[in-house]
Homo-oligomer: A and B are copies of this chain.
Amino acid sequence: MPSATVENYLKSILKLSMECERGEVPMGMIATSLGVTPGTATSMMKNLQKEKWLSYKSRKGVRLTPSGKKIGMIMIRRHRLLETFLVETLGLDWSEIHEEAEVLEHAISEKVLERLDIFLGKPRHDPHGHPIPTKNGIIRRLPKKTLLDSLVGTKMKIESILDQSPEFLTFAQAKGLMPGRMVTLVKNEKVADTIELQVEKMPKFSLGYKTAQKILVSD
């Protein structure tokens, strides 16, 4: 029923509302995240409210209704299952799958998706370590701990990569920064704004603070 455009809006709004937990999602964030002008976002919010997918308070922001949340969650599921298929079955690189899935997610039917889920063995997370919601919209909470929050000398497991850009993903892969790998924080240079890392037996390397926050880990 919703158009591909509407699907993208609802998915983005859901992701934003899960990230920055603060009630309403503001217009600016929505516009930026979808790459449209603020006016476009405003007028779209009115349409989405008319369809009962969210409630919109002028100059306050927007909050998804259960039906809007449901569509958003379905889109996240489609996206991540497709990414998994593209890497696991077709052997594409994890840096190039996001854009592919961004289009395919609007074309795949519920029926095909469920077959794909079975074919893939009901995976729990995509190649970037992002949790895949169940058919009923239940999604695992990601750990909040980033590489930056860890203590020097401790060994941690990489859970998830938050940056989807091909450039960063290619870099991360080269350094071994991938979900499942074990990483040790060798040094934390506060003054230089960097940390030094070692992934398993690979060579050490440095990461800026900002980048370090894009890697989620668990002990």
Give the interface of A toward B (CB within 8 A): 86, 89-92, 96, 100, 103-104, 106-109, 111-112, 115-116, 119
**Do A103 and B92 form a contact, CB below 8 Å, given A86-B112, A112-B86?**
no
* A46 shortest CB reach to chain B, Å: 26
Instruction: Please report the C-alpha to C-alpha distance between residue A88 and residue B91 in the assembled complex, in whole angstroms.
Output: 18
Given the complex, which residues of B lie within 8 Å of A111, measured CB to CB? 92, 96, 100
* Nearest chain B CB to A176 CB, angstrom units: 25
- Of A89, A90, A91, most B-chain CB atoms within 10 Å: A90
Q: Which residue of B lies closest to A97 (CB)?
A: B112
Give 8 nearest A-B pairs by CB, closest first: A107-B107, A90-B115, A103-B107, A104-B107, A100-B109, A100-B112, A90-B119, A90-B112
